[in-house]
Amino acid sequence: MDHISKDQKALEVCLLLRTLPNKMTPKVFFQHFLQSPHSDLASLRRFWAQPTGIESTMQLVQALRKEITKTEVGVAAWGDFIQNEAINIASKQQPKRGNYPHGSFQSSTTVAKSFFSTDEKETRETILTTEQMPFLYNTLLQTLLLKAQQSPTVLESEDEEPVDGMDLDADAKEPGKKGDSNALPVIETEEWNSIVEDCYTQFCTGQARKEAKARDCSRLHNTLVMLHDFPTVVEAKRSMRDGDVGRLMIIWSKWSLMTQALPGITNYSTYLPRAVLLLTVILPPDMRKYLRHNLLITPTGRDDHFLSKDGWLEVQNYWLKHFYNDCGNGTQIDRLCNIYSPNIMMLQKLLRSLKIDSGEKMIYQSHKNKLEQRSLDMVTLMANNHEVLDKDPNNGTSKNKIENTYLLGISNLQEYIKTKEPSLQKSKKHLNFNYQAEEELLEGDDADSNNRSSGKSSDSCDD
Protein backbone atom coordinates (compact mmCIF):
# COMPACT_ATOMS: atom_id res chain seq x y z
CA MET A 1 0.00 0.00 0.00
CA ASP A 2 2.86 2.37 0.73
CA HIS A 3 4.26 1.82 -2.74
CA ILE A 4 0.86 2.45 -4.34
CA SER A 5 0.31 5.61 -2.33
CA LYS A 6 3.70 6.95 -3.43
CA ASP A 7 2.91 6.24 -7.06
CA GLN A 8 -0.50 7.90 -6.75
CA LYS A 9 0.99 10.96 -5.10
CA ALA A 10 3.67 11.20 -7.80
CA LEU A 11 1.03 10.96 -10.53
CA GLU A 12 -1.08 13.63 -8.84
CA VAL A 13 1.94 15.95 -8.65
CA CYS A 14 2.63 15.39 -12.35
CA LEU A 15 -1.02 16.19 -13.19
CA LEU A 16 -0.79 19.34 -11.10
CA LEU A 17 2.38 20.38 -12.93
CA ARG A 18 0.57 20.14 -16.29
CA THR A 19 -2.29 22.43 -15.24
CA LEU A 20 -2.60 26.01 -16.45
CA PRO A 21 -1.53 28.74 -16.38
CA ASN A 22 2.13 27.54 -16.03
CA LYS A 23 2.64 24.04 -17.35
CA MET A 24 5.86 22.42 -16.10
CA THR A 25 7.57 19.14 -16.77
CA PRO A 26 9.09 17.23 -13.83
CA LYS A 27 12.62 18.14 -15.00
CA VAL A 28 11.74 21.84 -15.20
CA PHE A 29 10.16 21.58 -11.74
CA PHE A 30 13.30 20.00 -10.21
CA GLN A 31 15.58 22.54 -11.90
CA HIS A 32 13.47 25.47 -10.70
CA PHE A 33 13.22 23.97 -7.21
CA LEU A 34 17.01 23.72 -6.96
CA GLN A 35 17.87 27.08 -8.56
CA SER A 36 15.08 29.38 -7.41
CA PRO A 37 16.18 32.19 -5.07
CA HIS A 38 12.79 32.22 -3.38
CA SER A 39 13.27 32.11 0.39
CA ASP A 40 10.64 29.44 1.00
CA LEU A 41 12.11 27.12 -1.65
CA ALA A 42 15.62 27.78 -0.37
CA SER A 43 14.44 26.84 3.12
CA LEU A 44 12.98 23.56 1.84
CA ARG A 45 16.29 22.51 0.26
CA ARG A 46 18.57 23.82 3.00
CA PHE A 47 19.43 20.34 4.30
CA TRP A 48 20.20 18.75 0.91
CA ALA A 49 23.95 19.44 1.19
CA GLN A 50 24.18 19.15 4.97
CA PRO A 51 25.26 16.06 6.97
CA THR A 52 21.63 15.32 7.85
CA GLY A 53 20.49 15.18 4.21
CA ILE A 54 23.53 14.50 2.05
CA GLU A 55 22.98 10.73 2.05
CA SER A 56 19.49 10.93 0.54
CA THR A 57 20.73 13.59 -1.90
CA MET A 58 23.40 11.23 -3.20
CA GLN A 59 20.77 8.49 -3.51
CA LEU A 60 18.85 10.86 -5.79
CA VAL A 61 22.01 11.39 -7.88
CA GLN A 62 22.50 7.63 -8.11
CA ALA A 63 18.91 7.22 -9.29
CA LEU A 64 19.47 9.87 -11.98
CA ARG A 65 22.66 8.10 -13.11
CA LYS A 66 20.84 4.77 -13.31
CA GLU A 67 18.08 6.29 -15.43
CA ILE A 68 20.39 8.29 -17.70
CA THR A 69 22.75 5.39 -18.49
CA LYS A 70 19.98 3.12 -19.81
CA THR A 71 20.77 4.24 -23.37
CA GLU A 72 23.98 4.72 -25.32
CA VAL A 73 23.27 8.42 -25.68
CA GLY A 74 22.79 8.70 -21.94
CA VAL A 75 26.01 6.78 -21.23
CA ALA A 76 27.99 9.13 -23.48
CA ALA A 77 26.38 12.22 -21.95
CA TRP A 78 26.97 10.96 -18.42
CA GLY A 79 30.59 10.14 -19.24
CA ASP A 80 31.20 13.65 -20.58
CA PHE A 81 29.58 15.14 -17.48
CA ILE A 82 31.68 13.04 -15.06
CA GLN A 83 34.83 13.77 -17.06
CA ASN A 84 34.29 17.52 -16.86
CA GLU A 85 33.54 17.28 -13.15
CA ALA A 86 36.68 15.21 -12.59
CA ILE A 87 38.77 17.78 -14.44
CA ASN A 88 37.32 20.59 -12.34
CA ILE A 89 37.94 18.75 -9.06
CA ALA A 90 41.47 17.65 -9.99
CA SER A 91 42.41 21.14 -11.17
CA LYS A 92 41.35 22.62 -7.83
CA GLN A 93 43.40 20.12 -5.78
CA GLN A 94 47.05 21.09 -6.20
CA PRO A 95 50.19 20.80 -4.08
CA LYS A 96 50.94 23.76 -1.88
CA ARG A 97 53.09 26.44 -3.43
CA GLY A 98 56.21 27.75 -1.77
CA ASN A 99 59.52 26.47 -0.50
CA TYR A 100 59.83 23.13 1.26
CA PRO A 101 58.70 22.18 3.92
CA HIS A 102 55.86 24.75 3.77
CA GLY A 103 55.49 24.17 0.02
CA SER A 104 56.41 21.63 -2.63
CA PHE A 105 59.38 23.45 -4.17
CA GLN A 106 62.86 22.35 -3.11
CA SER A 107 65.83 24.40 -4.26
CA SER A 108 69.01 22.54 -5.19
CA THR A 109 71.04 25.10 -3.24
CA THR A 110 69.29 24.42 0.07
CA VAL A 111 68.51 20.71 -0.23
CA ALA A 112 69.63 18.55 2.71
CA LYS A 113 70.56 14.89 2.87
CA SER A 114 67.42 14.04 4.84
CA PHE A 115 65.25 15.20 1.91
CA PHE A 116 66.07 11.98 0.03
CA SER A 117 65.59 9.64 2.98
CA THR A 118 62.87 6.99 2.84
CA ASP A 119 60.95 8.43 5.79
CA GLU A 120 60.88 11.95 4.38
CA LYS A 121 59.82 10.63 0.99
CA GLU A 122 56.97 8.61 2.48
CA THR A 123 55.83 11.64 4.47
CA ARG A 124 55.73 13.82 1.35
CA GLU A 125 53.85 11.17 -0.61
CA THR A 126 51.32 10.72 2.20
CA ILE A 127 50.63 14.46 2.38
CA LEU A 128 50.35 14.69 -1.41
CA THR A 129 47.95 11.76 -1.80
CA THR A 130 45.76 12.15 1.28
CA GLU A 131 45.66 15.91 1.93
CA GLN A 132 46.60 17.82 -1.21
CA MET A 133 45.41 15.68 -4.15
CA PRO A 134 43.27 12.83 -2.78
CA PHE A 135 40.78 12.83 -5.69
CA LEU A 136 43.33 12.09 -8.42
CA TYR A 137 45.18 9.55 -6.26
CA ASN A 138 42.05 7.62 -5.27
CA THR A 139 40.75 7.67 -8.85
CA LEU A 140 43.92 6.13 -10.23
CA LEU A 141 44.29 3.67 -7.36
CA GLN A 142 40.71 2.39 -7.49
CA THR A 143 40.88 2.11 -11.29
CA LEU A 144 43.98 -0.06 -11.10
CA LEU A 145 42.53 -2.20 -8.31
CA LEU A 146 39.26 -2.68 -10.16
CA LYS A 147 41.10 -3.70 -13.31
CA ALA A 148 43.17 -6.22 -11.37
CA GLN A 149 40.05 -7.75 -9.80
CA GLN A 150 38.33 -8.04 -13.17
CA SER A 151 41.28 -9.78 -14.87
CA PRO A 152 40.88 -13.54 -14.25
CA THR A 153 43.64 -16.01 -14.98
CA VAL A 154 43.71 -17.35 -18.52
CA LEU A 155 44.63 -20.91 -17.63
CA GLU A 156 42.81 -22.99 -15.06
CA SER A 157 46.15 -24.29 -13.77
CA GLU A 158 47.17 -20.74 -12.87
CA ASP A 159 44.10 -20.10 -10.77
CA GLU A 160 45.06 -19.93 -7.09
CA GLU A 161 41.59 -20.77 -5.77
CA PRO A 162 40.58 -24.45 -5.90
CA VAL A 163 37.32 -25.16 -7.68
CA ASP A 164 35.92 -27.44 -5.00
CA GLY A 165 37.21 -25.39 -2.08
CA MET A 166 39.57 -28.16 -1.01
CA ASP A 167 43.33 -27.87 -0.75
CA LEU A 168 45.22 -31.01 0.09
CA ASP A 169 48.77 -29.61 -0.24
CA ALA A 170 50.93 -30.09 2.85
CA ASP A 171 53.68 -27.61 2.09
CA ALA A 172 52.65 -24.67 4.24
CA LYS A 173 55.52 -22.54 5.52
CA GLU A 174 53.75 -21.55 8.73
CA PRO A 175 51.65 -23.62 11.12
CA GLY A 176 47.98 -23.16 10.39
CA LYS A 177 44.87 -23.35 12.48
CA LYS A 178 43.10 -26.53 13.45
CA GLY A 179 41.68 -28.23 10.39
CA ASP A 180 43.99 -26.42 7.95
CA SER A 181 45.29 -28.90 5.41
CA ASN A 182 48.41 -26.78 4.82
CA ALA A 183 49.53 -26.92 8.45
CA LEU A 184 52.89 -28.57 9.07
CA PRO A 185 53.01 -31.06 11.93
CA VAL A 186 53.96 -29.51 15.26
CA ILE A 187 57.10 -30.89 16.95
CA GLU A 188 57.35 -30.77 20.71
CA THR A 189 60.12 -28.66 22.20
CA GLU A 190 61.87 -31.62 23.83
CA GLU A 191 61.89 -33.57 20.57
CA TRP A 192 63.15 -30.56 18.63
CA ASN A 193 65.97 -29.93 21.12
CA SER A 194 66.88 -33.61 20.95
CA ILE A 195 67.17 -33.43 17.15
CA VAL A 196 69.41 -30.36 17.36
CA GLU A 197 71.60 -32.00 20.01
CA ASP A 198 71.96 -35.19 17.96
CA CYS A 199 72.93 -33.22 14.84
CA TYR A 200 75.51 -31.22 16.77
CA THR A 201 77.04 -34.33 18.36
CA GLN A 202 77.10 -36.27 15.12
CA PHE A 203 78.40 -33.60 12.73
CA CYS A 204 79.77 -30.53 14.55
CA THR A 205 82.10 -31.77 17.32
CA GLY A 206 85.81 -32.42 17.22
CA GLN A 207 85.22 -36.06 18.14
CA ALA A 208 82.95 -36.46 15.09
CA ARG A 209 85.67 -35.08 12.79
CA LYS A 210 88.26 -37.32 14.43
CA GLU A 211 86.14 -40.43 13.91
CA ALA A 212 85.38 -39.45 10.31
CA LYS A 213 89.08 -39.01 9.60
CA ALA A 214 89.76 -42.58 10.74
CA ARG A 215 87.37 -43.98 8.13
CA ASP A 216 88.64 -45.27 4.81
CA CYS A 217 86.23 -43.17 2.76
CA SER A 218 86.91 -39.43 2.89
CA ARG A 219 83.47 -38.11 1.95
CA LEU A 220 82.14 -37.68 5.49
CA HIS A 221 85.43 -36.23 6.74
CA ASN A 222 85.57 -33.68 3.93
CA THR A 223 81.97 -32.66 4.58
CA LEU A 224 82.54 -32.14 8.30
CA VAL A 225 85.76 -30.17 7.75
CA MET A 226 84.09 -27.81 5.30
CA LEU A 227 81.09 -27.60 7.62
CA HIS A 228 83.51 -26.57 10.38
CA ASP A 229 85.31 -23.90 8.32
CA PHE A 230 82.37 -22.22 6.59
CA PRO A 231 80.50 -21.11 9.77
CA THR A 232 83.47 -18.89 10.62
CA VAL A 233 82.65 -16.82 7.53
CA VAL A 234 78.98 -16.67 8.54
CA GLU A 235 79.86 -15.68 12.12
CA ALA A 236 82.28 -13.00 10.89
CA LYS A 237 79.59 -11.49 8.67
CA ARG A 238 76.95 -11.57 11.40
CA SER A 239 79.23 -10.16 14.09
CA MET A 240 80.37 -7.36 11.80
CA ARG A 241 76.80 -6.55 10.82
CA ASP A 242 75.77 -6.51 14.50
CA GLY A 243 78.73 -4.30 15.44
CA ASP A 244 79.97 -6.91 17.95
CA VAL A 245 83.73 -6.37 18.04
CA GLY A 246 84.32 -9.10 20.62
CA ARG A 247 82.87 -11.84 18.42
CA LEU A 248 84.75 -10.44 15.43
CA MET A 249 88.08 -10.55 17.28
CA ILE A 250 87.49 -14.21 18.17
CA ILE A 251 86.99 -15.06 14.49
CA TRP A 252 90.03 -13.00 13.47
CA SER A 253 92.14 -14.82 16.04
CA LYS A 254 91.02 -18.14 14.59
CA TRP A 255 91.61 -16.95 11.04
CA SER A 256 95.13 -15.87 12.03
CA LEU A 257 95.94 -19.55 12.51
CA MET A 258 93.86 -20.87 9.60
CA THR A 259 95.57 -18.54 7.12
CA GLN A 260 98.91 -20.21 7.88
CA ALA A 261 97.60 -23.29 6.05
CA LEU A 262 96.08 -21.53 3.03
CA PRO A 263 98.31 -20.98 -0.01
CA GLY A 264 98.39 -17.78 -2.04
CA ILE A 265 97.62 -15.31 0.76
CA THR A 266 101.11 -14.55 2.06
CA ASN A 267 100.44 -10.92 2.91
CA TYR A 268 97.07 -11.62 4.53
CA SER A 269 98.54 -14.43 6.64
CA THR A 270 101.04 -11.88 8.00
CA TYR A 271 98.92 -8.75 8.31
CA LEU A 272 95.93 -10.36 10.02
CA PRO A 273 97.91 -11.84 12.97
CA ARG A 274 99.74 -8.54 13.27
CA ALA A 275 96.46 -6.63 13.50
CA VAL A 276 95.12 -9.07 16.09
CA LEU A 277 98.28 -8.72 18.20
CA LEU A 278 98.11 -4.93 17.98
CA LEU A 279 94.46 -4.83 19.05
CA THR A 280 94.78 -7.39 21.85
CA VAL A 281 98.36 -7.35 23.23
CA ILE A 282 100.87 -4.85 21.89
CA LEU A 283 99.13 -1.47 22.07
CA PRO A 284 98.34 0.17 25.42
CA PRO A 285 95.01 -0.99 26.89
CA ASP A 286 93.20 2.31 26.36
CA MET A 287 94.35 2.60 22.77
CA ARG A 288 93.46 -1.04 22.10
CA LYS A 289 89.94 -0.46 23.35
CA TYR A 290 89.58 2.79 21.41
CA LEU A 291 90.67 1.24 18.11
CA ARG A 292 88.58 -1.91 18.54
CA HIS A 293 85.42 0.09 19.15
CA ASN A 294 86.08 2.31 16.12
CA LEU A 295 86.56 -0.45 13.57
CA LEU A 296 82.86 -0.68 12.69
CA ILE A 297 80.33 2.05 11.97
CA THR A 298 76.68 2.19 10.92
CA PRO A 299 76.36 5.08 8.43
CA THR A 300 72.55 5.06 8.43
CA GLY A 301 72.19 4.57 12.19
CA ARG A 302 70.15 1.39 11.77
CA ASP A 303 70.66 -1.78 13.79
CA ASP A 304 72.33 -4.75 12.09
CA HIS A 305 73.84 -2.45 9.43
CA PHE A 306 77.40 -2.04 10.71
CA LEU A 307 80.35 -2.26 8.34
CA SER A 308 84.04 -1.53 8.43
CA LYS A 309 85.27 2.02 7.95
CA ASP A 310 87.47 1.07 5.01
CA GLY A 311 84.47 -0.63 3.39
CA TRP A 312 82.42 2.55 3.82
CA LEU A 313 85.21 4.60 2.25
CA GLU A 314 85.29 2.17 -0.67
CA VAL A 315 81.56 2.74 -1.21
CA GLN A 316 82.03 6.50 -1.34
CA ASN A 317 85.06 6.09 -3.60
CA TYR A 318 82.97 3.98 -5.98
CA TRP A 319 80.34 6.72 -6.26
CA LEU A 320 83.01 9.33 -6.92
CA LYS A 321 84.32 7.18 -9.78
CA HIS A 322 80.75 6.71 -11.02
CA PHE A 323 80.07 10.44 -11.25
CA TYR A 324 83.51 11.13 -12.73
CA ASN A 325 83.13 8.50 -15.46
CA ASP A 326 79.58 9.56 -16.33
CA CYS A 327 80.53 13.24 -16.54
CA GLY A 328 83.40 12.56 -18.92
CA ASN A 329 87.12 13.19 -18.91
CA GLY A 330 86.60 16.95 -18.85
CA THR A 331 85.36 16.90 -15.28
CA GLN A 332 87.18 19.43 -13.13
CA ILE A 333 88.92 17.72 -10.23
CA ASP A 334 88.33 20.75 -7.99
CA ARG A 335 84.60 20.55 -8.64
CA LEU A 336 84.70 16.81 -7.93
CA CYS A 337 86.48 17.38 -4.61
CA ASN A 338 84.67 20.48 -3.38
CA ILE A 339 81.09 19.80 -4.53
CA TYR A 340 80.63 16.11 -5.26
CA SER A 341 82.76 14.61 -2.51
CA PRO A 342 81.01 16.24 0.51
CA ASN A 343 77.59 15.45 -0.97
CA ILE A 344 78.34 12.02 -2.37
CA MET A 345 75.83 10.16 -0.18
CA MET A 346 73.10 12.69 -0.90
CA LEU A 347 73.65 12.16 -4.63
CA GLN A 348 73.54 8.41 -4.08
CA LYS A 349 70.16 8.70 -2.35
CA LEU A 350 68.94 10.95 -5.17
CA LEU A 351 69.79 8.34 -7.82
CA ARG A 352 68.22 5.55 -5.78
CA SER A 353 65.09 7.63 -5.28
CA LEU A 354 64.83 8.20 -9.04
CA LYS A 355 65.21 4.46 -9.69
CA ILE A 356 62.49 3.61 -7.17
CA ASP A 357 60.15 6.23 -8.67
CA SER A 358 60.71 4.73 -12.12
CA GLY A 359 59.63 1.31 -10.85
CA GLU A 360 63.04 -0.35 -10.71
CA LYS A 361 63.54 -2.90 -7.94
CA MET A 362 66.40 -2.02 -5.61
CA ILE A 363 68.53 -4.80 -4.11
CA TYR A 364 70.99 -3.66 -1.45
CA GLN A 365 74.13 -5.42 -0.27
CA SER A 366 72.64 -5.75 3.19
CA HIS A 367 69.62 -7.69 1.95
CA LYS A 368 69.07 -11.08 3.53
CA ASN A 369 68.97 -14.12 1.29
CA LYS A 370 66.01 -16.39 1.88
CA LEU A 371 66.28 -20.08 1.17
CA GLU A 372 63.11 -21.37 -0.40
CA GLN A 373 61.95 -24.95 -0.01
CA ARG A 374 62.94 -25.65 -3.61
CA SER A 375 66.55 -24.65 -2.91
CA LEU A 376 66.70 -26.87 0.17
CA ASP A 377 65.29 -29.77 -1.84
CA MET A 378 67.98 -29.33 -4.51
CA VAL A 379 70.75 -29.27 -1.89
CA THR A 380 69.36 -32.43 -0.31
CA LEU A 381 69.20 -34.11 -3.72
CA MET A 382 72.80 -33.15 -4.49
CA ALA A 383 73.99 -34.39 -1.09
CA ASN A 384 72.23 -37.72 -1.54
CA ASN A 385 73.61 -38.18 -5.06
CA HIS A 386 77.19 -37.56 -3.91
CA GLU A 387 76.80 -39.42 -0.60
CA VAL A 388 78.40 -36.60 1.39
CA LEU A 389 77.56 -38.33 4.69
CA ASP A 390 79.08 -41.63 3.53
CA LYS A 391 76.06 -43.70 4.50
CA ASP A 392 76.75 -46.16 1.67
CA PRO A 393 80.51 -46.65 1.09
CA ASN A 394 79.84 -48.49 -2.17
CA ASN A 395 77.96 -45.53 -3.66
CA GLY A 396 79.65 -42.40 -4.96
CA THR A 397 83.26 -41.58 -5.67
CA SER A 398 85.93 -41.23 -3.01
CA LYS A 399 88.17 -38.15 -3.01
CA ASN A 400 91.36 -37.12 -1.26
CA LYS A 401 90.94 -36.10 2.33
CA ILE A 402 90.86 -32.39 3.09
CA GLU A 403 93.14 -31.23 5.85
CA ASN A 404 91.66 -29.45 8.84
CA THR A 405 92.67 -25.86 8.11
CA TYR A 406 92.72 -24.82 11.75
CA LEU A 407 94.90 -27.70 12.98
CA LEU A 408 97.15 -27.55 9.92
CA GLY A 409 97.66 -23.80 10.44
CA ILE A 410 98.76 -24.39 14.04
CA SER A 411 101.23 -27.08 13.02
CA ASN A 412 102.60 -24.96 10.14
CA LEU A 413 103.12 -22.01 12.48
CA GLN A 414 104.90 -24.21 15.02
CA GLU A 415 107.11 -25.66 12.29
CA TYR A 416 107.90 -22.18 10.97
CA ILE A 417 108.95 -20.97 14.42
CA LYS A 418 111.12 -24.02 15.07
CA THR A 419 112.92 -24.20 11.73
CA LYS A 420 112.91 -20.79 10.03
CA GLU A 421 112.30 -17.79 12.29
CA PRO A 422 112.14 -18.31 16.05
CA SER A 423 111.96 -14.55 16.71
CA LEU A 424 109.00 -14.02 14.34
CA GLN A 425 110.50 -10.88 12.83
CA LYS A 426 108.16 -11.24 9.87
CA SER A 427 105.10 -10.76 12.06
CA LYS A 428 106.69 -8.02 14.18
CA LYS A 429 107.81 -5.92 11.22
CA HIS A 430 106.97 -2.20 11.54
CA LEU A 431 105.81 -2.72 15.14
CA ASN A 432 107.13 -0.48 17.90
CA PHE A 433 107.85 -2.17 21.22
CA ASN A 434 109.73 0.75 22.82
CA TYR A 435 106.73 1.82 24.91
CA GLN A 436 106.75 -1.57 26.66
CA ALA A 437 110.34 -1.06 27.80
CA GLU A 438 109.46 2.46 28.92
CA GLU A 439 106.49 1.15 30.92
CA GLU A 440 108.71 -1.47 32.59
CA LEU A 441 111.27 1.23 33.41
CA LEU A 442 108.56 3.49 34.85
CA GLU A 443 107.16 0.63 36.88
CA GLY A 444 110.67 -0.05 38.24
CA ASP A 445 111.15 3.61 39.15
CA ASP A 446 107.77 3.67 40.90
CA ALA A 447 108.69 0.58 42.87
CA ASP A 448 112.04 2.09 43.94
CA SER A 449 110.40 5.35 44.98
CA ASN A 450 107.80 3.46 46.98
CA ASN A 451 110.51 1.45 48.71
CA ARG A 452 112.49 4.58 49.53
CA SER A 453 109.43 6.36 50.89
CA SER A 454 108.51 3.37 53.01
CA GLY A 455 112.13 3.22 54.29
CA LYS A 456 112.13 6.85 55.26
CA SER A 457 108.88 6.52 57.12
CA SER A 458 110.20 3.54 59.07
CA ASP A 459 113.37 5.45 60.00
CA SER A 460 111.33 8.38 61.26
CA CYS A 461 109.22 6.04 63.31
CA ASP A 462 112.32 4.48 64.83
CA ASP A 463 113.61 7.88 65.74
In the chain, where are the structural domains located?
Answer: 94-146, 207-294+403-439, 305-358
Encode pLDDT of 346-396 as tens digits. 777 777 778 877 878 777 666 667 778 888 889 888 888 888 888 776 666
Q: What burial class does residue 259 get, using C-beta atoms within 10 Å of its C-beta: 0-12 exposed, 13-18 middle, 19+ buried?
A: buried
When mean pLDDT is compared over 199-208, 313-322, 429-438, the highest value belongs to 199-208
Q: What 3-state DSSP class applies to 321?
A: helix
- Beta pairing partners, 423: none
Of 58-67, 136-145, 146-155, 404-413, the range with the lowest mean pLDDT is: 146-155
Note the pLDDT of residue 121.
81
Top pLDDT among 295 and 455 is at 295
Encode pLDDT of 24-43 as tens digits. 888 888 888 888 888 888 88
Note the pLDDT of residue 301.
77
Top pLDDT among 155 and 253 is at 253
Dihedrals phi, psi of 410, to nearest 5 degrees: -65, -45
Q: How far apart are CA 37 and CA 369, in angstroms?
A: 71
Q: How far apart are CA 38 and CA 401, in angstroms?
A: 104
Note the pLDDT of residue 247.
93
Note the pLDDT of residue 72.
92
- On the question of pLDDT at 457 being above 50, the answer is no
Share of the chain above pLDDT 70, in %: 77
DSSP secondary structure letters along 320-350: HHHHHHHH-TT--HHHIIIIITTTHHHHHHH
- On the question of pLDDT at 50 being above 80, the answer is yes
Dihedrals phi, psi of 147, to nearest 5 degrees: -65, -40
Quote the pTM value: 0.55
- On the question of pLDDT at 402 being above 60, the answer is yes
Q: How far apart are CA 240 and CA 246, in angstroms?
A: 10
Q: How far apart are CA 183 and CA 161, in angstroms?
A: 17
Q: What is the 3-state secondary structure (H, E, C) of 118-130?
A: HHHHHHHHHHHHH
Note the pLDDT of residue 251.
94
